[in-house]
Structure 1
Amino acid sequence: MRHIHQRLQLYTQGNDAYIFVPPDTVGAQSLTVHRSSGELVLNPPHSLPPSARRSGKIIFGILGIISLSLSEYVIVITGREFKGRLMGHDIYRASDFDLLPLSPNLNVFNPPHPVEAHLIGLVRSHLTGGFFLFSYTWDVTRRLQAQWETREQDTNKPFWETADDRFFWNKFLQTRLIELTLGNTSQDLSSYILPIMYGTFDIRNAVLHGRTLQICLISRRSRFRAGTRYFRRGIDHEGHVANFNETEQLLLVVDGVASGDAPPAGGEFGTQMSFVQIRGSVPVFWAEVNTLRYKPDLQVMDLQDTANMMQRHLQEQVTIYGEQALVNLVNQKGHELPVKAAYERYIKQLDLPSVRYQYFDFHNECKHMRWDRISVLIDELETDIRRHGYFHVASNQGEVVQLQRGTVRTNCMDNLDRTNVVQAALARWTLNQQLKALGILSSDDSIDAYEAISKDFREMWADHADAIANAYGGSGALKSDFTRTSKRTRKGAMEDGVKSLTRYLKNNFFDGARQDGFDLIAGNWVPRKTSASSMFLVTDPRPLITRSMPLVASFSLFMICAGLTLPRTSDYSLFYYFILWFTLLSISLTFIFLHGIDYVSWPRLVPSTDYIYYTGPGFRSAHHGKGFGGDNAPKTRSGTSISTKWLNGGKKRVAASVEDGEKRVD
């Protein structure tokens, strides 16, 4: 792999340019970003202009360039956190960022226009709220087997060229640098293009029966159809599914008897093993529509290309990973049944080779906290996972012992809690098989008998589950007490109640802006260079009566509380006073819940009206929260209900939504 600069010193040349100088690389070319034109130029070595002034900032990488309504910005990493050393390679988390405006008259902390301030806030919130990992010497976006299979042809290639496109999170931000590198051989910016990954990383050292080993857990989140729990569900018209994650568990073992519990300094592990699982939303067109109710309205859309998109998605997984064992944990009754039915209907219709469907009724099998019943699923999958195998390379001998020829794709409704429990159980089973194959464990032994390694394993998977759940659902994972302790407790059930309430509040009242952050960073929405065209981002176009109801409810509640402190001449002296304010409170709350959709924090960059008001074939559980008219409410010529026309920013959309596989430009 080609060299990537690990440290950059920032210089400024008045208001004309930013200059990034690699201080630790002898003879390296510095990079100038001209602020007036946005042009990027590589400079000859040791050619810093005399007028350049050194900034106090140390840059640990350039994330990319983003264009907002008033200016372009260079996003740089100004803080990094060491997460561990994997096979001799340092892995970091990007912990702090800075935005460098190209416009000379713009202050990022006090933008001159509210739209620009709002967009900068979305970028900052996304960056500080995510978990972004990178390495200067190891490709964090690709699993071990993929790197091993292409190691010879990748020798002289830059990281950005070999990175897995699905997990190259800042690919859109790096577009300018990549295009310049491809279009001009004299301007190769590869040393400045640092791919980052949104995911998790954890590594633990252990000694078992005299053998030094490391267990590492990595998850990689796809940048396609990325977003939050209720605003990104199902599949899109590119065959990408929501909340797709690849999870890789690595087992690294030093040959010979351990002299201590420290891993080798250079990362020389004679044995390297990798086991990969994937998760992703049910690959049909479906959504859950927030209405302020705890259970959103379920919408399953039977579109003409559902079967084609499901086939495209599954064939891509077969191409990448090999055989697919599809484990579906969605409930077979109640609210989730229509999603399960649609999934199974299309799977049966497609009848794809190398794809096997396995249903597991999680809640019924594991009811009364019988989480040990996961073993029933493992028994049903054992033939598949033994045939799929895992990747095993004897690196000191330079030969592959075994390839992983398939994966288990697990999903529940959110691909979070039930999925985490099942994936952890499959990972534990596989780890035991690997240790037995190496002769470290006997045929009837298990890591459960060794508290130190078992505890590390449980904590790794629980932390991993919490991180994925926070990124998608807004809270830590449910049922994590079982993952951490192998037991389901009443305390854990109570904690799950708190997490569920947290998810409800975030999903209804905060996730709209969070989804906008995803769409802005991923390039699903590109602002025009006029702030006036994006004023809908900072204004509230809802009708006055809609906006006033929360104020009426709050003031009524205040007056009721105040009335409790007022002096009384008799028990009935304040009777009509309370009747008035209780009536107003009841009317306002009734209105709010009847028009619940109008009070949800919806994404504004890529509105969700396409599935909210879908009227084609499929299934709809209810039409709550749409006012008194529901589906019969008057609609515009485009089919959008007049009562929620504000969801489109009060105007016709310029381009189709992401559901149509296109970027939106405003």
Structure 2
Amino acid sequence: MTTTQKLKPLFKHLHLYTNDESYTFFPAEPPNAPTLTVHRTSGDIVVNPPGTPPPRGAIRYGRAIHGIVGMIALTMSEYLIVITDCERFGGISTSDIWHAKEFEIMPLNPNVSVQNPSHPVEAYLLALVKSHLNGGSFFFSHTWDLSRRLQVQWLSEKVDSGKAMWETADDRFFWNKFLQSRFIDVATATPDQDLSGYIMPMIYGTFEVRRQIIKNFHVLLYLISRRSRYRAGTRYFRRGIDEDGNVANFNETEQMIFVDKGDSEEQKFPHLLSYIQTRGSIPLYWAEINTLRYKPDLQIMEGDERLAATKKHLTDLVNTYGEQTLVNLVNHSGHEQPVKEAFEKYCSQLEIPKVQYEYFDFHTECRRMRWDRIDVLIDKIKDDIEDQGYFSLNSETDDFKLQGGSVRTNCMDNLDRTNVAQAAVAKYVLTKQLRDVGVFGENETIDDHEDLLAAFRELWSDHADSISKAYSGTGALKTDFTRTGKRTKKGALDDFYKSTMRYLRNNFFDGARQDGFDLMTGVWTPEHGTAGFLISDDRPLIIRAVPYISWFSVFMVAAGLTLPRSSDYSLFAYFLLWFIIFGISFTFILAHGIDYVSWPRLISLSSIINYNGPGYRGGNHGKGINIPTIDMPQLKAKTKAKMLARIHKRGASNMNEIEMGTKKRVD
């Protein structure tokens, strides 16, 4: 394999000309490249012949465009999304890897303003788009397919030669494929219109590289993670598996090293090595339902059809990666015990060939901050790691080895414990790889090379933080061990702070964030009609009023501290009254916690909240006392009826109201 891919390259820089009729993109290079026009009135996408001049009266956009993310249709207009600023994060061979930093959202409808939408529903949906783009971690390359691991690229090198990057990208990790669907449809329907230079796949994940000199060897150490666009979302609103076998928070992590013996001025890095691990939510139908309590309400939904989904997930892993070692790190007792037992029961019933289950009680084995005992896990699975191997290629001699399996790791969130375990596996494999290519002696390890060890720890700690922010909203816990090899009290305090922030984000902010995932990946698509519930609050009046009563009682207690002390008895009665009111209102909020969580609005979770079938369910704390939980589908129907009545009463509206529609996936 050459380290320069033979795919059709993307255009690196585009000049944009715009008027009320069209957006027209001109590649900065090569000269006489075909241009692209998106017609604003019809939405048509057309490739123009080389040499086509800018449209008459068009104005050149003031910033260079680094790539087209795609198009999304909301309620008042379609919108074109482009990258206006990016940062180079390193390179693979001669290919630069870029991190998208700033985006521009451009309406096709010239009467629509992105900054000041004329309708509150459109404003809400645009805010979701902006938040998702600004809060994500998106990487792309104009000449390297970041979505596929090195081994797959090498195996398909001849078949892929001359293809467009969007044609070869791994469907799971082509994050903006839904946004690019309009462009892909045109490219598929009209092959004579060459859109290959404009359809740019992005991954949502991480990319880091460090250069090390070890003895007389130059070593490039890479770490790449790719987040699946299927069942994507936030920590508590996307758990478990779907009927297609996709699990929440599925990430493929690739650790690559390129090695060159530094005895010549030209560094060619002939030795290319790669090792793959995966993580993902426990492949069962399960959920943790937020109730404002620190520990959410655990629910496991069982049934024969659900067992089939687990089988599909594990079979797909075997077909994609080879033999699987399933490392389960959840606790053997307490809140997590039912999930552990259900997972083990399913694995026992399925007995899928080439799938091995390995349980490691992380918190028991590593209690009292003895996290070095993660080596116990490595000892248990090292035979599997050795048998599965890793990808290795000497590009000068064409000698190669293939990775024939992978380790799939999970804890409850697939974040903190999983990060520690994956880093330990990666460290073990990296030592073996460097020995096999002659960089290390037979008894040498990474621990013998301080600079390499520091770079390795930094890579894996940054990687852990990025994956955690994408799923939970905060950086990873336990990264003090990953960064330093030791568990510290300062790290424990930092974990306390992050845990507190996770609680607040997951209960009060993640609903909108989940809506952003569903909108941008095509799980939910807007249709014309009504959707007033996006901007209305139809909870019972008492539910809405109690938090105000609680805050008012706090205000009155604070105000009482400034009152003149004419009578200690009257002040005591005053404070007692407001403390009692606060206590009653606060107890009411906790008792009805589900009604105060920031739930997603686009995709209802009422079927999970109100599930009453076979399986395990917790105490359902937070559903309230004699006050029914709000049923979102009924709420939508009631709201729609009210909106339609108002529309009928006032006559024709000056805009089409909005209705919500759901789709499983649109590619």
| Fold conserved between structures, TM > 0.5 | yes
Q: What is the DSSP-based 3-state SS (H/G/I as helix, E as strand, rest coil) of the residue aligned with 2:511?
A: helix
Q: What is the DSSP-based 3-state SS (H/G/I as helix, E as strand, rest coil) of the residue aligned with 1:64?
A: strand
Q: What is the DSSP-based 3-state SS (H/G/I as helix, E as strand, rest coil) of the residue aligned with 1:327?
A: strand
Match in the other structure for 2:559: 562
Deviation at 1:364, TM superposition (A): 0.8
Match in the other structure for 2:229: 223
Q: Say whether residues 1:549 and 2:539 are aligned partners.
A: no
Distance 1:475 1:209, change over 3 A: same
Q: Say whether residues 1:537 and 2:534 are aligned partners.
A: yes
Instruction: Report if the CA contact (8 A) 1:287-1:611 is conserved.
Output: yes
**Aligned mates of 2:571, 2:602 — CA distance in 1:** 49
Instruction: Report if the CA contact (8 A) 1:329-1:361 is conserved.
Output: yes
Q: What is the DSSP-based 3-state SS (H/G/I as helix, E as strand, rest coil) of the residue aligned with 1:153?
A: helix
Per-residue CA deviation, residues 240-268 of structure 1 (Å, 9 max, x unaligned), is 00000000000110134377xxx93xxx2
Instruction: Report if the CA contact (8 A) 2:391-2:401 is conserved.
Output: yes
**Aligned mates of 1:452, 1:504 — CA distance in 2:** 37
Which 10-residue stretch deviates more, 177-186 or 288-297? 177-186
**Aligned mates of 1:187, 1:645 — CA distance in 2:** 44
**Aligned mates of 2:403, 2:419 — CA distance in 1:** 21
Match in the other structure for 2:647: none
Instruction: Report if the CA contact (8 A) 1:394-1:401 is conserved.
Output: yes
Normalised to the residue count of structure 1, the TM-score between the two structures is 0.94
Q: Say whether residues 1:320 and 2:320 are aligned partners.
A: yes
Per-residue CA deviation, residues 81-138 of structure 1 (Å, 9 max, x unaligned), is 1000112210001100011100011110001101001100000000000000000000
**Aligned mates of 2:632, 2:254 — CA distance in 1:** 43
**Aligned mates of 1:94, 1:118 — CA distance in 2:** 23
Distance 1:649 1:292, change over 3 A: farther
Match for 1:442: what amino acid? G
Which 10-residue stretch deviates more, 74-83 or 22-31? 22-31
Match for 1:340: what amino acid? K
**Aligned mates of 1:226, 1:466 — CA distance in 2:** 18
Match in the other structure for 1:170: 176
Distance 1:233 1:650, change over 3 A: farther
Deviation at 1:580, TM superposition (A): 2.5
Match in the other structure for 1:662: 664
Q: Say whether residues 1:394 and 2:394 are aligned partners.
A: yes
Distance 1:171 1:112, change over 3 A: same
Deviation at 1:608, TM superposition (A): 1.0
- Runs of at least 5 residues in structure 1 that lack an aligned partner in the other structure: 635-640
Match in the other structure for 1:609: 606
Normalised to the residue count of structure 2, the TM-score between the two structures is 0.94
Deviation at 1:372, TM superposition (A): 1.4
Q: What is the DSSP-based 3-state SS (H/G/I as helix, E as strand, rest coil) of the residue aligned with 2:201?
A: coil
Per-residue CA deviation, residues 170-218 of structure 1 (Å, 9 max, x unaligned), is 0000000001110012222121100000000000000111111110000
Q: What is the DSSP-based 3-state SS (H/G/I as helix, E as strand, rest coil) of the residue aligned with 1:501?
A: helix
Q: What is the DSSP-based 3-state SS (H/G/I as helix, E as strand, rest coil) of the residue aligned with 2:452?
A: helix
Deviation at 1:652, TM superposition (A): 8.8
The counterpart of 2:615, out of the listed 615, 618, 629, is 618
Instruction: Report if the CA contact (8 A) 2:297-2:617 is conserved.
Output: yes
Match in the other structure for 2:284: 284
Q: What is the DSSP-based 3-state SS (H/G/I as helix, E as strand, rest coil) of the residue aligned with 1:224?
A: coil
Instruction: Report if the CA contact (8 A) 1:145-1:391 is conserved.
Output: yes
Distance 1:271 1:433, change over 3 A: same
Match for 1:127: what amino acid? L
Q: Say whether residues 1:592 and 2:592 are aligned partners.
A: no
Match in the other structure for 1:427: 426
Per-residue CA deviation, residues 371-402 of structure 1 (Å, 9 max, x unaligned), is 111111111111100000000000123x2421
The counterpart of 2:123, out of the listed 117, 127, 148, is 117
Match in the other structure for 2:648: none
**Aligned mates of 1:385, 1:52 — CA distance in 2:** 59
**Aligned mates of 1:343, 1:322 — CA distance in 2:** 21
Per-residue CA deviation, residues 123-176 of structure 1 (Å, 9 max, x unaligned), is 000000000000000000000000000000100110000000000000000000
Instruction: Report if the CA contact (8 A) 2:208-2:223 is conserved.
Output: yes
**Aligned mates of 2:196, 2:489 — CA distance in 1:** 53
Deviation at 1:304, TM superposition (A): 2.7
The counterpart of 2:27, out of the listed 2, 22, 25, is 22
Match in the other structure for 1:477: 476
- Runs of at least 5 residues in structure 2 that lack an aligned partner in the other structure: 1-6, 642-657
Match for 1:244: what amino acid? F
**Aligned mates of 2:123, 2:230 — CA distance in 1:** 26
Q: Say whether residues 1:76 and 2:82 are aligned partners.
A: yes
Match in the other structure for 1:374: 374
Distance 1:31 1:645, change over 3 A: closer
Distance 1:102 1:652, change over 3 A: closer
Match in the other structure for 2:417: 418
Instruction: Report if the CA contact (8 A) 1:160-1:195 is conserved.
Output: yes
Q: Say whether residues 1:149 and 2:151 are aligned partners.
A: no
**Aligned mates of 1:179, 1:232 — CA distance in 2:** 29
Instruction: Report if the CA contact (8 A) 1:657-1:663 is conserved.
Output: no
Q: Say whether residues 1:234 and 2:240 are aligned partners.
A: yes
Instruction: Report if the CA contact (8 A) 1:602-1:647 is conserved.
Output: no
Match in the other structure for 2:38: 33
CA RMSD of aligned residues (A): 1.9
**Aligned mates of 2:386, 2:10 — CA distance in 1:** 39
**Aligned mates of 1:280, 1:393 — CA distance in 2:** 28
Match for 1:496: what amino acid? D
**Aligned mates of 1:314, 1:657 — CA distance in 2:** 31
Q: What is the DSSP-based 3-state SS (H/G/I as helix, E as strand, rest coil) of the residue aligned with 2:386?
A: helix
Q: What is the DSSP-based 3-state SS (H/G/I as helix, E as strand, rest coil) of the residue aligned with 2:442?
A: coil
Match in the other structure for 1:342: 342
Match for 1:491: what amino acid? K
Instruction: Report if the CA contact (8 A) 1:541-1:646 is conserved.
Output: no
Match in the other structure for 1:638: none
Distance 1:246 1:384, change over 3 A: same
Deviation at 1:584, TM superposition (A): 1.7
Match in the other structure for 2:112: 106
**Aligned mates of 1:320, 1:651 — CA distance in 2:** 45
Deviation at 1:651, TM superposition (A): 5.8
Distance 1:355 1:648, change over 3 A: farther
Match for 1:501: what amino acid? T
Match for 1:554: what amino acid? W
Match in the other structure for 1:301: 301
Distance 1:657 1:248, change over 3 A: farther
Instruction: Report if the CA contact (8 A) 1:475-1:499 is conserved.
Output: yes
Match for 2:127: what amino acid? G
Instruction: Report if the CA contact (8 A) 2:524-2:664 is conserved.
Output: no
**Aligned mates of 2:301, 2:574 — CA distance in 1:** 50
Instruction: Report if the CA contact (8 A) 2:87-2:100 is conserved.
Output: yes
Instruction: Report if the CA contact (8 A) 1:458-1:483 is conserved.
Output: yes
Q: What is the DSSP-based 3-state SS (H/G/I as helix, E as strand, rest coil) of the residue aligned with 2:528?
A: coil
Match for 1:40: what amino acid? I
Deviation at 1:447, TM superposition (A): 1.2
Distance 1:177 1:643, change over 3 A: closer
Deviation at 1:53, TM superposition (A): 2.1
Match in the other structure for 1:47: 52
The counterpart of 2:185, out of the listed 150, 174, 179, is 179
Q: What is the DSSP-based 3-state SS (H/G/I as helix, E as strand, rest coil) of the residue aligned with 1:57?
A: coil
Q: What is the DSSP-based 3-state SS (H/G/I as helix, E as strand, rest coil) of the residue aligned with 2:70?
A: strand
Q: What is the DSSP-based 3-state SS (H/G/I as helix, E as strand, rest coil) of the residue aligned with 2:157?
A: coil
Distance 1:205 1:303, change over 3 A: same
The counterpart of 1:214, out of the listed 206, 213, 220, is 220
Instruction: Report if the CA contact (8 A) 1:541-1:649 is conserved.
Output: no
Deviation at 1:444, TM superposition (A): 1.4
Q: What is the DSSP-based 3-state SS (H/G/I as helix, E as strand, rest coil) of the residue aligned with 1:461?
A: helix
Q: Say whether residues 1:449 and 2:453 are aligned partners.
A: no
Per-residue CA deviation, residues 22-42 of structure 1 (Å, 9 max, x unaligned), is 122211111111111101111
Instruction: Report if the CA contact (8 A) 2:528-2:659 is conserved.
Output: no
**Aligned mates of 1:650, 1:293 — CA distance in 2:** 30
Deviation at 1:624, TM superposition (A): 0.6
Match for 1:466: what amino acid? D
Match in the other structure for 2:10: 4
